[in-house]
A and B are shown apart, each in its own frame.
Chain A
Amino acid sequence: MSSTVTTGAKGRTGKGARPSRPHTAWVLPGVLFFTFFAAAPMALAFYLSFTRWNGLGDPEPVGLENWRKLIDDPRLTQSLTVTVMLTVVSWVFQTVVSLLLGVWAAGRQRNRAVLSAVFFVPFLLSSTAISLLFYALLDPNFGIIRGDTLGTTSGAFLAIVFVGGWQFIPFHTLIYQGGARQIPEVLYQAAAIDGAGRYRQFFSITLPQLRNTATTSTVLMVVGSLTYFETVLILTQGGPGTDTAILPYLMYEAGFKSYDFGYASAVATFLVVAATVLSLLLVRLTGFGAMRSTREGM
């Protein structure tokens, strides 16, 4: 009992003890922001998923009707498949390109610094502006890439992957560049003395050292792909037919085209749960949560 009191006193005044933590009130702005713009809307969407509401008047409780409809909806299966495919293909495309670019950009040469700055430009544009730009470029009659790109299933899908990559690769390149610069020079020096070539160094030193960086980047990409929306809305409107209608688009269509906000909220809730479970799984599977140092024994 007495020891606790002593520790407490030390904590407040004593030198050499742990520095005192900021007052609880300091988290207030962050918590308020999160409550109003994330937690409250999510709770509201969860509530709306048990109602029928067309945006006018008061929501009318209907129990599990929307959820039953969601399970039976063949479009949900299609949407899930497209969403998963988009996530996987985008991940492969973006990871390969940004890993290589990032490692290259980590070099200290001046031309690399200049080029890295140029590469970063697409990330500064809004997704809507980028999508409109590519929509114009892909115009079958007046664009640069003529032909019915957006009218075919594979064309539309690949266009979405490419435009997403064009926008987000700069960001992930920056993450990998930062990660690669943290790798101690001594490792490469030692490897060079042992006679390891450039490729050997990349696969045996750079890649393993970037493990935590890759996890961070992957989680961001996966969650990003799940909430991808503007590009689909502007480039394909979910078409041709419903072939690129990913989950967020399905939600938008139910809400703002059919004015079935109850069903749209059920899709939204499903999306939140799926994204949360997926990112938790990723963190656990990659051992990111344990945060083991990549420099053990150094």
Chain B
Amino acid sequence: MAEAIRYRKERIDRGIKARTDTIYLLSSLRDMVYLFLPRFLPILLLLLLPFFVRGGYWEKVLFYSCMFALLALSWDFMASVGLVSLGQALFFGVGAYISGGLNYYLKMPIFLTIPIATLGGALFCTLLLFSVLRLRGVYFSMVTLILPLLFAHLIETLDILGGTHGLLSLTPFPGGYPAMYLAIIGVIVCLFGFRKLISEDFGLVLRGIKDDDRVVMAGGINIHWYKAQAIFIAGAVGCFAGALMTHYYQFVGRSVFALDFTVLPLAGAVLGGPGSFAGATIGTFILVPLSEALRALGGLRMALYGVILIGALVVLPEGLFHYIERRYHQFERDARV
């Protein structure tokens, strides 16, 4: 019988990828560009963007995108420890109210309220979630889903911290650029910091907890302590975003605990591809401007996020970033079997 020639598709790392994986010294320009372009291009773009959208409506959109990117990064960080949160609004709201409260009641200046809100808020959230760290999977998610709603209702019914009116006329940022650049640098630092952190020994333990927490426990590691640290880090990022937003709008109200601040970052992370941090950032920077452009639809916006979320899960479950990354590093060809 004549043997038919058969082919199959094969995926191969690009030569330049294999070469640049082990670069420790300066090598050819092409290798350097291959290595640094995907890292520096987004940074450069982010740093230059404020000049292009100066003073307009789109400046607010850019700021908004950064806020959601920070929340998405914080969600992604928790998710990479296996803590799937449905309440990023908790961090955001706590940060916002702490900085707003300190500024409104104690007249603290902006350069004190933001750091205090970031660290204090993170500590507060960690202590709040400490008792439920033993919960896994969907039970943890449910608790995180309820907490922001709880706070919103507490503020409303007890009429504390401004009640339904919120805290008004807080100290603004001096000019437009400081707030914008704090947000952008925050995103960049978190993005690359998290990517670094998760590949270090500390991140190894965190990823281990996600894969199989019992094995990590059997290794003599206190997983609750590590989970608490992870929540503190994620919480600090979320609180930082909340504090920035408060001073940017010079206002804080119950809406900071709204579902938007939970759903949009999650949708962004899922669209971009969870687990890579870059994916979460790309996802939110696509979704937020898109949703602003669709603002005319009114109430349908939230429905649209839902559709995008489902569509992304069905069509590209790996996420945009993983897809792009694969295309960048690998190519396909027919191989003879």
Genuine A/B complex:
no
Q: Which residues of B contact A (CB under 8 A)?
A: none
Q: Which residues of A contact B (CB under 8 A)?
A: none
